[in-house]
Chain A
Amino acid sequence: MILRGLWRRRWLSLIVLVVAILPVVAGSLGPMYTDAARTTLLRETLDHALLDHRGWRVTSVTDTAGRLVEGVKAPFLLPPIKGAELLSPNERSTKTYPLMWIDGQCEHVTLIEGRCPTAAGEIMATGASGLKVGGTVKLNLVRDPDSGKPRLMPLRVVGVYKTDQTDPIWYGRSLFPQTAGVTEGNGDPLLTVEDTELSSAVPAGVTMAGVPATAWASTAIVYIDPQKITGDDLALLESVQGELRGLGQSGLSTTVFSYMDDTLKAVHLRLDSLSVPTTLVTLQLVALGWLLLFLTVRDLVAARAPEIALARLRGLSTLRIWAFGLSEPALLLLAALPLGLAASFAVVERMSERLLRNDLEVAVDGFTVLCGVAAVFGGLLATALAARQTVTQPVVEQWRRTPRSHRRAWVVDGVVLAITAVGLAELVAGDAITDTTGQRASALIAPGLLAVALAMIARRILPLACRALFQLTRTHGNIGAFLAMRQISRGSATASTVVVLSAGLGLAVFAVAAWSVTSRNYQEVARVHNGAETVFVVPRTDAATLRKISASVPGTAPVIVTPGPPATLATDPVAFASVALWRPSYGNDQPLSRLVAKLSPPTAAPRVMFSGDRIRAHISTPPLPKGWNAVLYADFRVFGETRPASIPMARLLAGTTVYEWGLPRGCLTAPCELRGLRMEVMGDSGTDFEDRPSGGALLTKLEMRGDGRWSTVDAGLDDPNRWTSTSSTSDGGLPLSFDPNFSATRPDTFPDPMPGLSSGTAAGQKLPGLDDIYFSGYKSVATTWALPGLNAPGVVVDLEMADRVAYGYSSRTEFQIWAAPGRGEEVRDALRGDGVPILATRTLDDLVSAYTSQGPGLALLLLIISAGVAALLALGRAVLALHAAARRRTYEMAALEAAGARVRPLRTALLLEQTITLSWGALTGILAGLVAAWAALPRVPEFAETPVTPPLDYSLVPVPVIAVACAVLALSMIAAAVTSELLLRGVRVDQLREAPA
């Protein structure tokens, strides 16, 4: 009988079914989408993570690393890449080579010459190593086991290879100094086979934590396969991280190297920013679905009112009447569950494919089904509420169509308005109430609340206004306006139409406003944070090499970034100004080229460079008081170090003396720079401070010894412009004061403070410098709202000056080559052509995509798609409600027609009624959406981490909002015109022979 009933009311049933599917879709879409989004976030994070951030490298000198990691299992782990390596100087100790074998190494290198090693004692070397096929290498730690004596095993070169240093088998390590051409002390890896390890002997007697250890370190690299991991695997990933970290902590002999903790932290940050917004969006959509369902089921139940009255007449118990009354909608809700889940699945699959990733496997899990069931139960509750009046109304009242008092409706309105007012006040003046600042995902509840609240007011105002106009149209105007006003003022379909339209369109307008504003902010933030359209991260080298690389590729700028705080971006100002993405509004409407022109000082003294093993200083010293000593220290910047190397160059003696001392060891292999001279004056115990030496010594000449020959160093000792000011000046050399206030001097190679272009609150702080150790002062030449390439307040300085200030390059610095707009591909090819490894490429579009795929972005994506569908359904439901209400009046219209009323006023009446109601609802929705956008947008999270710079812009983007508003109004007009015409065509005078519906 239920099916027969559904068939009899098939169109209404179909509409109820469609509407019933909505909350199920909304309820299940959220969890399914969240799962897909979580997986996307996890995979995106891993995809963009450096190799050592998405895997573990386990090394052990006492155990086999491969065996250690075998115990750690997870479906998303790739099989371990096993290997072993040994670091040993060559026979003559001129170079230190890593000798290693790695599983599958031959597939990961390109042979230039020869073949891959296959037997013990065979190796292959890089082209940069200078080793030739057929040649041999002997390493101090690899000995021939057959020999009773400590004889070194000859390793025969059988192949020459080159490799991509970003290949996973290298685990992101800087293993190729020779290829990079940056050092003379370390060699590129020599690749061999496992048999070499097994057949070679190493010096015995080494123990690690009491366990005999070998010089070979067994290694195993375990990577996560981003294609196999899902959002649900996060807990397992943390457990794997715990297990592997435990391996490293279990003893000294095993080391686990990984930045997985950082990755997990980043994942958590992004995931945390996803769940709350998606839940709120889902809840609002489910609530809207329930509202739609409530209103639609009311129609269905109303259509069944005579049957329900019959059931009561036949004495069915209350329970049976409820069961009978709800049987049809309940069956539809039951059918809506699988259909809704299937629809959600299809939508999420399509969204994943188009908007997230195409390698996602969308699944309907237990929780999703549970959410769908919860949505159905909510729908059932909405259905019960909708049916309540019909089921409980006394039969006689129903037959007599007694109007009921709706006093309690005001209570509901009052509660909703009060909640909204409090919520809005909390949102707008949040600081005052909750003492919290910043962004809150709870702000996403604003559009729903506001839409419902404004709808509550609007639905009351419209009938009142029409009632007033009704009085006017009674005496003035035509019958069309009179009928329309009368009908609207009755409010039979007005209230639900206005509520549904306002809620649906309010959400949609808010979603569009939020999306457009957020997209603009993504674009702007990405412009600033990326700095250029394309940024290539290259291996850390030195400023001169980076400049050289940039100079060889047109349309690029060399950049070194130190995170800070404050963040420091060192670059070549002219090149920077030509490639950086800049908006004059960031810097008082000034072009970047004008601002950065002030960064380079007009002149700077040349650097004082040393290269060799010894230093000699010619110093004239006055006699020192008895018991007093003076020592002259020299500070050097040594390649590859981040701290200065100091040497006690001379313990000064009276008279003119030549002092000689060893240069820092690093000066032997690479030039080092004299960064300062310091005089330390000390008295023996018992000396009187009053007798402290005054005046100073005079440094007249500096020499260095390289390749056994002495040469004079151009230090400009007698040029006061080349050294920072001292206590006195002299034509014959550099005065070195005994006065502690003037006891230090340095070559004046950079201005102090250094000129810098600062942003935000960076002004006034000290810069960490490229070495990230020795802070230096800077003088702001201009302050801007944002600076390209900096995601925090920071300073842009001249690269040359920054390099002169620093003692080296911190491991936190990043070396980048920026490409001018539109030149990314060319620059990449040029860099590759020059043999410059590209560790990472960051593009503006990638960064925008990354923001979009963060939690808030994904939640907004869900909001805009779902809100769009919900708005269309709301509009459809509103039109149907109006249609149904007007159809009930066709009898009355037929009577009017029979009484001689012309069709035109009747058409006008219908059209006016529908247009006014739909437009009023639409306008209320648009207003609600705009107010919600104004109130909530500054509070709605747009980023997983709110960017410090540039300042976000929350002003509405007018075009999409106006487009949506116009589309909504146009759709309303069309719907009104079509339904009016359809209804009018259904009006027949013959109807009067039938009983009114």
Chain B
Amino acid sequence: MTPAVRCDGVVQIYKTKEIEVVALRDIDLVIEEGESVAFLGPSGAGKSTLLWLLAGLLRPSAGRLWLGDTEIGKLGPRALDRLRAADIGVVLQNPARNLIPYATAVQNVTFAQRAVRRRARRPAGDLLDRVGLTPVRDKPAGRLSGGEQQRLAVAVALANRPRLLLADEPTSQLDAATGQAVIELIRDLGETSVVVTHDARVSEATGRTVTIRDGRIGAEGRGGEDFVVVGREGAVQLPPEYHELLPPGSMARVEPLPDGVVLRRAEP
């Protein structure tokens, strides 16, 4: 079965007037259909960049990225637009950014459906009902509470029946209860979903976590257990909690074991 997402050595470089910044390097990642993945990591690690790549908003500077059978890097701008319109739903950080504040809840949903064929559209009323916003359907989005806005943002992201739902810090500005409601909403959707978050509740709610540090995938968590990820060139990012034992810049010995290797600090 074709995975929902496959990254193969993806590199992303931002070019500005004077400098180039490598935001992601050698990202290898596979997300299966129906899987929920949380991207974790410190600010500036590259989580959002990876999310934008998955959303088809960027094309990788190097490497290959597939969404289903479609390779993102080979698509032109128009095809990328169509891809976003048909297959991807995005929830941006800060709920207000997902919405047109002066448009009503219904208008926001229908606005998101403009690029979708009619038969692919979910009825706006059903969507709002699903996220519990029927009572405020005709209220301008700017006048909704933070939680309502976030739920509306999810509804808007789902308006085109996406195969992949991407959410960037969906709970960052919400109180605990509202945040929990949003987490449950995303989890219960049953779609393939990728969530960028700092929120432990979100990561716990997803089946898999991917930790990104310095533009690389440093670790993955599955079933409550965290694993480091061995990179393309054999590089491994030690989790920060082990930096005390093996501080960055120190030397270590690699000792082979039958099922892997062990690192021991080498005294100079």
Contact mask for chain B residues 103-146; partner A; CB cutoff 8 A; 1 contact, 0 none: 10001000110111000000000000000000000001010000
Instruction: Report the count of interface residues on B (CB-CB < 8 A).
Output: 35
Are B100 and A313 interface neighbours, CB within 8 A? no
By secondary structure, the B interface counts as mixed
Does A1 reach chain B (CB closer than 8 Å)?
yes
- A4-B102, A396-B58, A400-B14 known; A315 and B84 CB under 8 Å? yes
Min CB distance A315 to B, Å, is 3
Are B57 and A396 interface neighbours, CB within 8 A? yes
Contact mask for chain A residues 302-328; partner B; CB cutoff 8 A; 1 contact, 0 none: 000011001111111110100000000
Min CB distance B170 to A, Å, is 15
Min CB distance B130 to A, Å, is 19
Nearest B residue (CB) for A8: B102
List CB contacts (< 8 Å) of A478-499 with chain B.
none
Are A315 and B82 interface neighbours, CB within 8 A? yes
- A313-B90, A315-B85 known; A307 and B17 CB under 8 Å? no
List CB contacts (< 8 Å) of B140-182 with chain A.
140, 142, 160
Are B16 and A402 interface neighbours, CB within 8 A? yes
Query: Which single member of B58, B78, B86, B94 contacts A995 (CB below 8 Å)?
Result: B94
Query: Which single member of B86, B88, B94, B100 contacts A307 (CB below 8 Å)?
Result: B100
- A315-B85, A318-B81 known; A5 and B102 CB under 8 Å? yes
Inside 8 A of B90's CB, which chain A residues have their CB?
313
Query: Which single member of A8, A396, A402, A403 contacts B52 (CB below 8 Å)?
Result: A396
Please report the C-alpha to C-alpha distance between residue A312 and residue B100 in the assembled complex, in whole angstroms. 13
Does B55 reach chain A (CB closer than 8 Å)?
yes
Please report the C-alpha to C-alpha distance between residue A317 and residue B83 in the assembled complex, in whole angstroms. 11
Are A316 and B14 interface neighbours, CB within 8 A? no
Does B97 reach chain A (CB closer than 8 Å)?
yes
Please report the C-alpha to C-alpha distance between residue A316 and residue B85 in the assembled complex, in whole angstroms. 7
Min CB distance A308 to B, Å, is 10
By secondary structure, the A interface counts as helix
Inside 8 A of B85's CB, which chain A residues have their CB?
314-316
Does A394 reach chain B (CB closer than 8 Å)?
yes
List CB contacts (< 8 Å) of A388-420 with chain B.
394-396, 400, 402-405
Does A7 reach chain B (CB closer than 8 Å)?
yes
- A1-B100, A315-B83, A403-B17 known; A320 and B114 CB under 8 Å? yes
Min CB distance A216 to B, Å, is 86
Nearest B residue (CB) for A320: B114
Inside 8 A of B142's CB, which chain A residues have their CB?
8
Central interface residue in A1, A7, A314, A403, by most chain B CB within 10 Å: A314
Nearest A residue (CB) for B110: A1
Min CB distance B221 to A, Å, is 28
Inside 8 A of A311's CB, which chain B residues have their CB?
111, 114
- What number of residue pairs across chains A and B have CB atoms under 8 A from each other? 72
Are A316 and B81 interface neighbours, CB within 8 A? yes
Nearest A residue (CB) for B142: A8
Query: Which single member of B84, B88, B111, B116 contacts A1 (CB below 8 Å)?
Result: B111
Query: Which single member of B52, B86, B98 contacts A315 (CB below 8 Å)?
Result: B86
Min CB distance A60 to B, Å, is 79
Please report the C-alpha to C-alpha distance between residue A402 and residue B49 in the assembled complex, in whole angstroms. 14
Contact mask for chain A residues 680-696; partner B; CB cutoff 8 A; 1 contact, 0 none: 00000000000000000
- A313-B90, A314-B85 known; A405 and B17 CB under 8 Å? yes
Inside 8 A of B63's CB, which chain A residues have their CB?
none
Please report the C-alpha to C-alpha distance between residue A314 and residue B158 in the assembled complex, in whole angstroms. 11
Min CB distance B81 to A, Å, is 5
Inside 8 A of B97's CB, which chain A residues have their CB?
306, 310
Please report the C-alpha to C-alpha distance between residue A396 and residue B13 in the assembled complex, in whole angstroms. 13
- A1-B111, A8-B101, A403-B17 known; A317 and B140 CB under 8 Å? no
Query: Which single member of A307, A313, A317, A320 contacts B55 (CB below 8 Å)?
Result: A313
Min CB distance B104 to A, Å, is 9
Please report the C-alpha to C-alpha distance between residue A400 and residue B142 in the assembled complex, in whole angstroms. 23
Inside 8 A of B52's CB, which chain A residues have their CB?
396
Nearest A residue (CB) for B84: A315
Inside 8 A of A1's CB, which chain B residues have their CB?
100, 102-103, 107, 111
Are A315 and B115 interface neighbours, CB within 8 A? yes
Min CB distance A898 to B, Å, is 22
Please report the C-alpha to C-alpha distance between residue A513 and residue B98 in the assembled complex, in whole angstroms. 55
Query: Which single member of A316, A396, A405, A995 contacts B115 (CB below 8 Å)?
Result: A316
Please report the C-alpha to C-alpha distance between residue A311 and residue B115 in the assembled complex, in whole angstroms. 9
Are B84 and A314 interface neighbours, CB within 8 A? yes
Inside 8 A of A312's CB, which chain B residues have their CB?
81
Nearest A residue (CB) for B156: A314
Min CB distance A69 to B, Å, is 69
Query: Which single member of B14, B17, B86, B103 contacts A4 (CB below 8 Å)?
Result: B103
Please report the C-alpha to C-alpha distance between residue A402 and residue B102 in the assembled complex, in whole angstroms. 27
Are B140 and A4 interface neighbours, CB within 8 A? yes
Inside 8 A of A395's CB, which chain B residues have their CB?
57
Inside 8 A of B98's CB, which chain A residues have their CB?
310
Query: Which single member of B78, B103, B112, B140 contacts A314 (CB below 8 Å)?
Result: B112
Inside 8 A of B17's CB, which chain A residues have their CB?
403-405
Please report the C-alpha to C-alpha distance between residue A316 and residue B107 in the assembled complex, in whole angstroms. 15
Inside 8 A of A320's CB, which chain B residues have their CB?
114-115
Inside 8 A of A7's CB, which chain B residues have their CB?
102
Inside 8 A of A5's CB, which chain B residues have their CB?
100, 102
Central interface residue in A4, A313, A317, A995, by most chain B CB within 10 Å: A313
Are B114 and A316 interface neighbours, CB within 8 A? yes
Min CB distance B21 to A, Å, is 10
Are A314 and B114 interface neighbours, CB within 8 A? yes
Are B111 and A394 interface neighbours, CB within 8 A? no
List CB contacts (< 8 Å) of A363-397 with chain B.
394-396
Min CB distance B102 to A, Å, is 4
Contact mask for chain A residues 970-989; partner B; CB cutoff 8 A; 1 contact, 0 none: 00000000000000000000
Inside 8 A of B102's CB, which chain A residues have their CB?
1, 4-5, 7-8
Inside 8 A of B116's CB, which chain A residues have their CB?
315
- A313-B90, A316-B115 known; A403 and B16 CB under 8 Å? yes
Please report the C-alpha to C-alpha distance between residue A357 and residue B88 in the assembled complex, in whole angstroms. 68
Are B16 and A314 interface neighbours, CB within 8 A? no
Nearest A residue (CB) for B114: A316
Nearest B residue (CB) for A400: B14
Nearest A residue (CB) for B173: A995
Min CB distance B155 to A, Å, is 13
Inside 8 A of B83's CB, which chain A residues have their CB?
315
Please report the C-alpha to C-alpha distance between residue A311 and residue B17 in the assembled complex, in whole angstroms. 27
Please report the C-alpha to C-alpha distance between residue A819 and residue B219 in the assembled complex, in whole angstroms. 107
Are B78 and A318 interface neighbours, CB within 8 A? yes
Inside 8 A of A8's CB, which chain B residues have their CB?
101-102, 142
Please report the C-alpha to C-alpha distance between residue A231 and residue B14 in the assembled complex, in whole angstroms. 64
- A1-B100, A8-B102, A403-B17 known; A313 and B57 CB under 8 Å? yes
Contact mask for chain A residues 1-30; partner B; CB cutoff 8 A; 1 contact, 0 none: 100110110000000000000000000000
Please report the C-alpha to C-alpha distance between residue A315 and residue B88 in the assembled complex, in whole angstroms. 9
Please report the C-alpha to C-alpha distance between residue A306 and residue B92 in the assembled complex, in whole angstroms. 12
Contact mask for chain B residues 62-96; partner A; CB cutoff 8 A; 1 contact, 0 none: 00000000000000011001111110101010100
Are B16 and A315 interface neighbours, CB within 8 A? no
Inside 8 A of B103's CB, which chain A residues have their CB?
1, 4
Please report the C-alpha to C-alpha distance between residue A192 and residue B98 in the assembled complex, in whole angstroms. 96
Nearest A residue (CB) for B113: A314
Are A402 and B14 interface neighbours, CB within 8 A? yes
Please report the C-alpha to C-alpha distance between residue A529 and residue B166 in the assembled complex, in whole angstroms. 84
Using CB atoms and an 8 Å cutoff, list the residues of chain B in contact with chain A: 14, 16-17, 52, 55, 57-58, 77-78, 81-86, 88, 90, 92, 94, 97-103, 107, 111-112, 114-116, 140, 142, 160
Besides A311-B114, A400-B14, A995-B94, 10 other A-B contacts (C-beta < 8 A): A1-B100, A1-B107, A4-B102, A8-B102, A312-B81, A313-B57, A313-B92, A315-B86, A317-B81, A395-B57
7 sampled A-B residue pairs with Cβ under 8 A? A1-B102, A5-B102, A311-B111, A314-B85, A395-B57, A396-B52, A396-B57
Nearest 9 A-B pairs (CB), nearest first? A315-B85, A315-B84, A8-B102, A4-B102, A315-B115, A315-B81, A316-B115, A314-B112, A396-B57
